[in-house]
Chain A
Amino acid sequence: AQRVTQPEKLLSVFKGAPVELKCNYSYSGSPELFWYVQYSRQRLQLLLRHISRESIKGFTADLNKGETSFHLKKPFAQEEDSAMYYCALIYNQGGKLIFGQGTELSVKP
């Protein structure tokens, strides 16, 4: 079955430290992958999509088809990065969207 796995429920780092939030997927086609973020008391919003290859708020994510991963990285974490992060996948024909379980990132001062 198609699946998105985020192995860490909680990731706690100090300000200025590098951050990597893991996302692994299982899908045999050509998926489109996204990272969504939910800051406290705000709506879920798009952070990154692999097809655009942008860097948003210092975050990057590279699709590794060999390892079926789409890890989110930032070289220097900021306190305002504290939030819930979700990795998501949509099938190549569209329609069904699958989210991971989410990783809560806590950046300590």
Chain B
Amino acid sequence: EAQVTQNPRYLITVTGKKLTVTCSQNMNHEYMSWYRQDPGLGLRQIYYSMNVEVTDKGDVPEGYKVSRKEKRNFPLILESPSPNQTSLYFCASSFISTGRDTQYFGPGTRLTVL
């Protein structure tokens, strides 16, 4: 089944403990992106990637890192999580490298940082 998967789906951690949220797509999409969803703020883009080894900042990149070593995977790394990074995170992918196409979303990862 063509889809975007994220792991883990739920995560509770403590301040400062490095974590990685994985994102994988099996649709051979060029564009991948990470968003966080917060009440009243909608979705805000963290980072996006238009191709392998090409990543760029979205609107809220502070405190996050990403890498795109292979086409299908786009992990989100929090080197030193803080409570203000408690949020619902979504990964998405799109066929066209510019992202000017339908975004296919993962199921979301709910992160709590204590």
By a beta-carbon cutoff of 8 Å, the part of chain A in contact with chain B is 6, 9, 32, 34, 36, 43-46, 49, 86, 88, 90, 93-102
Contacts and interface: CB of A to CB of B under 8 A. Distances in A.
B40 A97 contact: no
Interface residues of B, number: 26
Contact of B58 (A32, A49, A96, A102): A96
11 contacts: A32-B100, A34-B103, A44-B103, A46-B102, A90-B100, A94-B97, A94-B98, A95-B48, A96-B48, A97-B103, A101-B42
Contacts, number: 62
A93 B107 CA distance: 28
A60 B48 CA distance: 29
B79 interface: no
B40 A9 contact: yes
Contacts of A100: 42
A34 B96 CA distance: 15
A39 B45 CA distance: 21
A43 B99 contact: no
